[in-house]
Amino acid sequence: MDIQIQDSKHWMGARLERKEDLRLVSGQGKYLADIVLPGMLHAVFVRSEYAHARITGIDTSAARAMPGVVDVITGEEIKAHVKSMRQPVLLPNLPAKYPDYHALAVDRVKFHGEPVALVIARDKYLAEDAAEMVVVDYEELPVVVDAEKALAPGAPQIHDEQPGNEMFAMTFTGGATPEEQQRNDEEVERIFKSADVVVSHRFRVHRTGITPMEPRGVLCDWNMSDGLTAYITTQRPHIDRLALIDILDIPGEKVRVIAPRDQGGGFGVKAPFFRENVVISYAARKIGRPVRWIESRYESLMNVGQERDQINDLDVAATKDGKLLAMRNRGIANNGTGQTGVYWGFVMPFLGQVEMPNVYTWEKGDVKLRVATTNKACLTPSRAFGHLPTRFALERSVDMVARRIGMEPSDLRRKNMVPKLPYTTITGEYYDSGDFLKVWDNLMTNIDLPAFRREQAAARAQGRYIGIGFACGAELSGVASELLVPMENQPGYGAATVRIDPRGKVLIFGGDAPGGQGHETTTAQVVAAVFGINPADSVVTTGDTGSTPFGAGTIGARAGSYFVSAVHKACSELKEKITHVMAHDFGLRATAEEFAFTNGDVIYLRDPSKRKTFREIVERIIMFPVNLPEGEVGGLEATAFFEAAKPMICFNADFCIVEVNPDTGEFKIKRWVTSEDVGNVINQNIVDGQMHGAIVQGLSNVIFEEFIYTDEGQQLTADFENYKMATAADVPDIELTYASTPCPHTPLGTRGIGEGRPSSIPGALCNAVCDALSPFGIEITELPLRPSSLWAKIRDAKAARS
C-alpha cells in the first residue's frame, strides 16, 4: 500500500520575512557608493546650462591646473576614440529615425543637463570644484519643448536626420499594409457615424515618472590582464556588457559588468543603456585607475525618471445600452531628444498604444501614434511603461459613456470585459489566460455599491460631495521574446543556474539585477518547495555577467514569471538526477514522482524507511561519484532557460471613494480597494508590497509630481523642493483582495506583477472625483489633478449655471 508523505510545498505562498532585510535595516547593505577600490578616482560631469545651443569652445585649462585633477575629457575626445551610441545592440527592430550621438555632447547641446565634459580628480569635492572651472562657450539656438509645435512646419530641428522632428509613427490597427489600414479606418468611421453615443476628448498627461531612492552610478576598473570591470546600477547588466563591448570596441572576454547586490530601486529608470556608462569606462581605461561617478539627485531629476508626457485625442463609440463599439485614438508623445539606448524614448509610447484597448471588447479600432523629438530630456522607462496616459484616457472615456447613457460605470465595464481568455485585442496584444470577470466580481463583492449611492445622495443633501471611481488594467507578466525582440532587440527568456554544494546548500545564479523587490526571498522559497529544505539554505547571486547566465534583465515583471520558472526548471532537473541516484543506491526501479523531498529528507514514498537526508544524498553525488547509475556523473549543477510560447498577463481592478470640497477643490481619498489576479502567489508579503508601492506611485504621479520646463527648455524641478512626491500622510490605507487564476504557462502557475500596476490609478481617482462633482458636470481630461485646477473648474461650472 502506498504511504503518502506531505511534500514541502508549504513554502509556496508563505508570508516569509524578506531575507534581504536584515542586512539592509542593520546598515550592512552594499550599494555602489559603498564599493571602494584601491587608487579610486572620482568623476563629475559638466552639464549644459542651455536646452539648445552650439558649443563654440570649451576651456579646460583652469580645471586641469588644479592640484589633484587627473584629467578632463570632452566630447571631441570621445568622438575621436569611442564609437557613437547608435549601435545595433541598442536599436529596437522598429522603424524609427534613430539619432546618432556620442556619450558627451559634440558641437551642439540639445537639452538642459546634457553632459558636455567629465572631470576626474582625487576626490569628489575637488572634482565638483574643478567642474565649475570648465568654461563652455555657447551660441544659443531656437528651442522647442512642445510636441505639437515640434511637429509643425518650420519648427527648430532637434536632429539633422529627423526632418520635421518626427522620430516614430505607427498605425496599430487594421492590418500590416496601408491599404488594409485605410479600409479599417473607413469601417471605423462608419461605426462612429451610426453609433448612438460618441464621446470625444483630448487627454493630456504631464511629464512624470519614478524617482528611485538610490540614483545611478558607475565604477569602472581597467587592467591589461582582465580588461574592464564595470560596476553599474543597472537592471540589465548583460545588455550593458554587450553595449560596452561594441561601443568601446573591447573584446568580449575583457568586459565584465556587475550590478551591485543592493540597489535602491529601479522601476525602469535603470533599464536603459546610458551614455555615462561609456564615459566612465573610457576614463578608467585611459587613466589606468578605477573611476567612480555617483549621480547627484539634481542630475537624476534633470536626466532620468521622466516619462508619460502624452496627448491622446480619443473618440469612443457605443450603443445606448452600453455596448462599446469602436475607439479611435491619435496619440502624440513628447519624446525629448530621444537619445537613450535600448528605449530611445519612443518605445514606451509605442507599448502604451498597443495596450490601449485594455480589457474591453471592441468591434474595431483606429489607433495611431506620432512621437516628436523636443529639447527636453529623453523619456526613460517607468512603472506603467507607456500606458499610464492611454489607460487614463480610456478609463475616463468609459465613465463618460456610462454617464451619457445613465448607466452605472461598474455595470458598463463588466458588460464589455473580455469574457473568456485567450483573446487578442484590436491592436494585436495577446491575453494568454485568466478570468477578468472573476476578478471584477470579487471587487464588487468587497464593496456595497447600492449602500454607497444612498450615502452619496444623503451627503449631497447636506452639501457634501462624495464619489466613487473604477478602473482596471491588464499588464504584461514578463515579456516574451516574441514581443521583446522587435520592441527592444533583446531576448525575453528567463535563465538561471542552480548549483548544490556538498553540504546541502543551494546556490542560485541569475543574470537579471533586482532593485529591492525581494527576489532573494521568493527565489529561495521556490527552491525550498522543490527540494524540501529551508529557504535559509539557499543563496541567490544576481547581476554579475562573470558568473551568471545571460539574462535580459529585471524588466516587465519577469521575476515571478520568467526567472523563477527557470529556477524551478533547473531544480527539477537536479531533482531528477538525485532521485535517479538514490533509486539506484537502494536497488529500486522508481521515478522521481515516487520520492518526496520534505523537511530536509528525501523519502521513497512506497517504503519510507528508504530515506536519506538531502545533505547525505547530494554529498554522495558530489563527493563520492562512484558506483553511479550508468550514464550518470558526479556534480549537481544545472542551467535552465524558460520561454513562454506567448506573452503572459496579469489583471487588476481598482475602486476608490473620494470627498471633494467644492469651495477649495481639495479632495480626500476615503477608501481604496483592489482586486488582483497574480496567479499562484509565492510570498504574499512581497506581492502586497508590490501592490502598495505601485498604487502609491500612481497616486503620487497623478496628484503631486510634475517635471516642469520653461519655454526656453530650462528644467525647474531638479530638487525635492520643487518636485513634490507623496508621503505616507498623503495616501490612504489600501485594501488588497485577490481572485487569482493559476497561469497555465509557468510551471508554478505564477504571474509576474508590479511593473504596470500604476496605470489604472489615474482613471480610478479622476473618475471618483468626477462622480463626486457630477452635479457640476465636470470632466477631468488633464493631469496632474490639483485642488487649484478643480476649484477653477467648479468656479466655471457655477458661473455657467448662474
Q: What integer pLDDT is reported at residue 8 of this predicted model?
A: 58
Residue 611's H or E segment, with its range, is: strand 611-613
Outline where DSSP puts E strands in 477-513: 494-500, 506-510
One domain, residues 615 and 747: no
pLDDT, tens only, 672-699: 999 999 999 999 999 999 999 999 999 9
- Domain endpoint, select from 609, 642, 675: 642
**Domain-located, residue 220:** yes
CA 669 – CA 666 distance, rounded (Å): 10
Q: Indicate whether 635 and 653 sit together in one domain.
A: no
Q: What is the average pLDDT value for the chain, to the nearest integer?
A: 96
Cα atoms in the Cβ-side hemisphere of radius 13 Å centred on 557: 28
β-strands 465-476, 494-500 pairing: unpaired
Dump pLDDT digits (tens) for 749-786.
Answer: 999 988 889 999 999 999 999 999 999 999 999 999 99
Q: Indicate if 634 and 656 belong to the same structural domain.
A: no
**What mean pLDDT is predicted for residues 439-452?**
97
- Count how many domains the chain has: 4
Q: Is the pLDDT of residue 6 over 70?
A: no
Q: Is residue 162 a part of any domain in this protein?
A: no
CATH number at residue 792: 3.30.365.10
Report the C-alpha gap between 410 and 126 in whole angstroms: 61
Nearest to 589 by CA among 580, 597, 598: 580
Nearest Cα to Cα of residue 95 among 158, 164, 170: 170
In a domain, 570, yes or no: yes
Q: The domain spanning residue 121 has which CATH number?
A: 3.90.1170.50
Q: Note whether 269 and 349 are same-domain residues.
A: no
For the segment 329-337, the average pLDDT, to the nearest whole number, is 98
Tell me the pLDDT tens digit for each residue of 90-111: 999 999 999 999 999 999 999 9
Distance, in Å, from the CA atom of 522 to the CA atom of 753, rounded to the nearest integer, reads 13
What pLDDT, on the 0 to 100 scale, is given for residue 646? 80
- Tens of pLDDT, residue by residue over 195-236, are 999 999 999 999 999 999 999 999 999 999 999 999 999 999
Domain shared by 586 and 655, yes or no: no
Q: Are residues 104 and 226 in the same domain?
A: no
- Please tell me the distance from the alpha carbon of residue 217 to that of residue 234, in angstroms, as a whole number: 9
Domain end: 100, 124, 141, which one? 141
- What is the pLDDT at residue 9? 65
Same domain, 638 and 707: no
pLDDT in tens, 607-639: 999 999 999 999 999 999 999 999 999 999 999
Domain match, 578 and 699 both: no
- Give the count of beta carbons closer than 10 Å to the beta carbon of residue 106: 18
Cβ atoms within 10 Å, residue 732: 16
In which band, very low, low, confident or very high, does the pLDDT at 445 lie, cut at 50, 70 and 90?
very high
pLDDT at 645 over 60: yes
**Per-residue DSSP letters for 62-81?**
HHHTSTTEEEEEEHHHHHHH
In-domain check, residue 147: no
Report pLDDT for 2: 42
Q: What angle do CA 140, 143, 146 make, to 5 degrees?
A: 170
Residue that terminates a domain, selected from 261, 295, 329: 295
Residue 180 has pLDDT above 70, yes or no: yes
Kindly tell me if the per-residue pLDDT of 5 is higher than 70: no
- Model confidence over 351-385: pLDDT tens digits? 999 999 999 999 999 999 999 999 999 999 999 99
Asked if residue 263 and residue 363 are part of one domain, the reply reads no
Q: For residue 325, is pLDDT > 50?
A: yes
**What does the pLDDT average to over 396-404?**
98
Same domain, 637 and 652: no
SS3 label, residue 612: strand
Q: What tens digit of pLDDT does each residue of 225-273 get?
A: 999 999 999 999 999 999 999 999 999 999 999 999 999 999 999 999 9
Closest to 307 (Cα-Cα) out of 769, 792, 706, 734:
706
Is 184 within a domain?
no
Which segments of 624-728 does DSSP mark as H helices, in order? 684-703
- pTM of the full predicted structure? 0.96
Question: How many residues would you count in the chain?
Answer: 802
By percentage, how much of the chain surpasses pLDDT 90? 96
Assess whether 560 and 412 both reside in one domain.
no
Q: Are residues 313 and 431 in the same domain?
A: yes
Question: Does residue 465 have a pLDDT over 50?
Answer: yes
What is the average per-residue pLDDT within 627-652?
Answer: 94
The pLDDT of 178-200, averaged and rounded, is 98
The answer to the question of residue 194 being in a domain is: no
Q: In which domain, by residue range, is 270 found?
A: 216-295
Query: Residue 161: pLDDT above 90?
Result: no
Stretch 721-742: mean pLDDT, rounded? 96
Contact of 220 with 291, CB cutoff 8 Å: yes
State the Cα angle at 67 between 65 and 71, rounded to 5°: 65
Q: Are 569 and 495 in contact (CB under 8 A)?
A: no
